[in-house]
Amino acid sequence: MPATPDTTVIAQKAVDLIAPDTVVGLGTGAAATQFIHALGARVQAGLQVRGIPTSDASAALARQLGIPLVTFDDVEAIDVCVDGADEVDLAGDLIKGYGGALLREKVVAAFSRKLVILVGPGKTVPALGTRGTLPVEVVPFALTPARRRIAKLGFDPQQRMKDGKPYVTDNGNFILDCKTGPLRDAAATDLALHAVPGVAGTGLFIKMAHTVMIQEGDKVEVRRGGAPE
């Protein structure tokens, strides 16, 4: 497997965006983990924030670092969500879900006032789907018919496995890794997949990112709504 890209520089820059007394969405994956570590250090130094995690793993890490956690029952909205992505296109649209938390990530992102995405080299693409995989979360009852329907849409859906067993998300669902190429219309694809009964969520995050930070070595490119600053 390729080495995990170093995104510590953008993780620190993202923490600089976090104001006191705000609610922060805590993403999942390598870049989000580095951000949570950076945020935890600020919390230990006196910064007061509350977090809503996108996965059990992120929740466990946040507790370990002393970041107070809340639920949607406790707050009206999330001020800013900081997460990673598996693909970012020129418009700032995303594919997420290689780490398996796509559904909760989308929920937290959708109820956040701002979504800040942190990526290292190799994650920027000319069109979504370039890296060849689009994760789709499916409820277990619908696995077989949903896989058949998705195949008719032109994808090659393969059930994700882990240690020889079906991978199960924190929601108790399965993931179909749909083999694909560059998508002509990612928004239309997202709608078509969501129309399949049993699909709980897709890895397509269309027009959701407010800011994308891209780290190349020690240099950081910041894009707002897909356009470089």
Report, as residue numbers or ranges, the catalytic residues.
105
**In the chain, where does DSSP find H-type helix?**
8-15, 30-44, 56-65, 102-110, 143-152, 186-194
**Structural contact between residues 31 and 98, judged by C-beta atoms closer than 8 angstroms:** no
Report the residue count for the chain: 229
CA distances from 167 to 99, 162, 173 (A): 11, 5, 8
Backbone angles phi, psi at 188, to 5 degrees: -65, -40
- 97 Ramachandran zone, left/alpha/beta (phi>0; psi -120 to 50): left
Helix (H) or strand (E) holding 105: helix 102-110
DSSP state of 5: P
At 59, the amino acid letter reads A
**Structural contact between residues 28 and 101, judged by C-beta atoms closer than 8 angstroms:** yes
**Structural contact between residues 220 and 116, judged by C-beta atoms closer than 8 angstroms:** no
* Residue 202 to residue 123: CA distance in whole angstroms: 18
**Structural contact between residues 203 and 93, judged by C-beta atoms closer than 8 angstroms:** no
